[in-house]
A and B are shown apart, each in its own frame.
Chain A
Amino acid sequence: MSNQPLTDSINPTANLRLRSVKSAHRWQVVVLIGLILCSMVTLATTFGIVFMLIYESSGFFLSDEIELSRFVTDTRWSLGQSKGEKFYGIWPLLSGTFRITGIAMLIAIPMGLIAAIYLSEFASQRTRAFLKPVLEILAGIPTVVLGFFAVTFITPYLLSPVGEFQVFNGAAAGIAVGILCLPLVASLAEDALQSVPRALREGAYGLGSTRFEVTVKVVLPAALSGIISSVLLSLSRAIGETMVVVLAAGSTPTFSLDPRTSSQTMTGFIVETFKSESVVPGTLSYYSIYAVAAVLFLITFTITVAGQIIRARYREVYE
């Protein structure tokens, strides 16, 4: 380090000091190596996930029983059942996932955005101090609890009076996932709105705009990239959500748009397959876990990357 000669010239006990600086330097190198090793863990996790998904799902796709073309086109999936002919079209699982995600987004995006706009632009200090913790508590509720809520409350008390819903249905799961995503959208979008500088707002007020006009015409466009990335993040969260759908959405994969029926999702299939103790490494149903997980990972990864690109490219930076 550059302070070594300085210590040398000033300090009469330079010899002693020099040694300690040296050992401090050596210690610093040791620490740096330790920190790099820590950072390696996250890299290793990513490489582990990617390698695992490719390596193990190749056992599925390269199997003699599987044709890749039927995996991407067939609309029947029966790998969860032990008997009968094997169908392995991914579409029923995909349709289950997107049905539930769609309902969840219908709830989370409008409500979350309105909540964020209200909190950031209209709420008084006191309402904020009350509502922010409420959103934080809602965000901290474990997903398995929301799944339980969907089965014991949403289906029997909210949905059954309105229409003919199966005991386990996609709508209840979708609503619960929506509740789960709402605080996420709200807090991320609020952060984005808050980071719009005060000067922009003041300028618009100075031109005679109302508070509503300022919000809609100035603040929202300025925060748009942050809002979109918050929506994308919650979208990928909804797609990967597991415990709610396992509890509430049922275990029959169906290829339809009807939210009243049982709709197994990709994550739901993975968990159901794990639960049946028959899964042994080397069997087709074992490999099918990885194949489905690979599709799931590909979708969420694409969404995450898209969110990052949008945030990086379209972010308005104010000094």
Chain B
Amino acid sequence: MLILNLVVVILLTLLTSIAFQGGSWLSWDFLTSNHAEDNPEASGVYQAIIGTFVTCLVCGLFAIPVGIGTAVFLEEYKPSNFWLRQFHGLVQLNINNLAGVPSIVYGILGLTVFVYMFGVFGKIEVNQPAPIEMGATYEYQIKTLGKEWVRFKAVDRNVNFFEVTEPVEITFGDGTTAMLNVIPKSESIPTDKELKLRSVFSGAKGSIFRSYSWYYFQFPFGKGVLAAGLTLALVILPIIIIATQEALRGVPDSLRQATFGLGANRWQVVKGVVLPSATPGIMTGAILAMSRAVGEAAPVLAVMGGVLGTTKGLTSLMDKSPILPITIYQWASDDNNQFENLSAAAIIVLLVFLLMMNAVAIFIRYRFEKRNRP
């Protein structure tokens, strides 16, 4: 009894000490602003909330279907084929082992596979485009003699600087296009204002300008939220599989037999009877696994690094983004003590997040249990 009281005391101490430290820092500004270097008063968790949300979305979209699929295969399909039976046993054995692998090891796996792809595509360098990509446009930008920045299309995306010698079609900042007027170095600057705006000396250098659309995709994924989300998915996959297996085992066999008796084949039984009646269990398990993913920092730290904020925000799945646990970690280890209080405030946000997810899980369990009662 004493011990259990101690557990309650630990939990209360933990929550109150954090609430005490961070409570006064919680404000609307805190939720809507981003990390500011050396300025705790102006810092906030907006990007971190978005990042957490997107990362978990990627994670859930991958882990939940794959996890349910694996569990259905393990529980509902007992293959008669020899090889399939071996495979079946191997997968089951493997899941129990995977559940014991430290999450940081998954992080290293994510870094090696999703970010670097074992270096198969060569060394990945800063300011060089990824080997395979989609949704990116490459342009060179150059300053004309009229002090105007203009852009023109890049032919080779691997070349960072380009010397202009021939006229090309250029785009101005406001979207209008024109032909670039290249004048030899010996000539003087044209006096006509309009002509001056689109003139450069021959040999002027344009530097590369990359713009990415929202569906920008590259392979290997690079240090972005897609890689982080997939890594988290691998972390929670065993949890989802085990929870789903439990839920499937809870479906009474008589339901299956009755449906087989009606002439349904195995997949029809699974789809029409087993999965619907196991839904509450599966969903509770999935939500609890997701709440594990929300609080997991180590694998993401390995994949994305300790990002606190980015200037352009999250524009595509390949971008880095801060997430709540990493923000908490970075602020807590900051030399500036004010950030420690901010970290406590961020913890409150994270715990509220988790509380809401758990409340949803409990609600689902309660709702369906009531409906399924005979």
- Enumerate chain A interface residues (CB-CB to B < 8 A): 1, 3, 6-7, 24-25, 27-28, 31-32, 34-39, 41-43, 45-46, 48-49, 52, 55-56, 111, 114-115, 118-119, 127, 131, 134-135, 137-138, 140-149, 151-153, 179, 182-183, 233, 236-237, 239-243, 246-247, 267, 270-271, 274-275, 277, 281-282, 289-290, 293, 296-297, 300-301, 303-305, 307-308
Contact = CB atoms under 8 A, between A and B. Distances in A.
Contacts of A148: 18, 328, 332, 343-344, 347
Contacts of A1: 265
B104 to A, nearest CB: 5
B108 A144 contact: no
Contacts of A145: 14, 18, 295, 328, 347, 350-351
Given A41-B70, A140-B354, A144-B329, A277 B91 contact: no
Interface stretch (B37-45, B115-123, B148-156, B192-200): B115-123
Given A39-B74, A143-B295, A118 B91 contact: no
Given A140-B292, A140-B295, A296-B104, 6 more contacts: A28-B268, A43-B91, A119-B4, A143-B296, A242-B103, A270-B108
Given A7-B263, A56-B112, A148-B18, A111 B7 contact: yes
Contacts of B234: 45
B87 A36 contact: yes
Instruction: List 9 A-B pairs, minimum CB-CB distance, nearest first.
Output: A240-B102, A142-B295, A38-B69, A304-B100, A242-B298, A35-B73, A28-B267, A3-B263, A144-B297
Interface string B90-110: 110011111111111110110
B53 interface: no
28 contacts: A35-B69, A38-B70, A39-B91, A42-B237, A42-B238, A45-B234, A52-B118, A111-B3, A115-B3, A115-B4, A138-B10, A142-B325, A143-B298, A144-B297, A148-B18, A149-B14, A149-B17, A152-B344, A240-B101, A240-B103, A240-B105, A242-B102, A267-B104, A271-B104, A271-B301, A281-B123, A289-B108, A304-B100
Interface residues of B, number: 83
Contacts of A243: 297-298, 325, 329
B66 interface: yes
A247 B330 CA distance: 9
Interface string B332-357: 11000000100110010011001000
A275 to B, nearest CB: 6
A182 to B, nearest CB: 7
Main SS class of interface, A:
helix
B105 A134 contact: no
A236 to B, nearest CB: 5
B241 interface: yes
B57 interface: no
Contacts of B102: 236, 239-242, 267, 296-297, 300
A25 B265 contact: yes
Nearest to B69: A38
B263 A41 contact: no
Contacts of B96: 304, 308
Interface in B277-322: 288, 291-292, 294-298, 301-302, 305-306
Interface string B34-74: 00000000000000000000000000000001110110111
A247 B328 CA distance: 10
B1 interface: yes
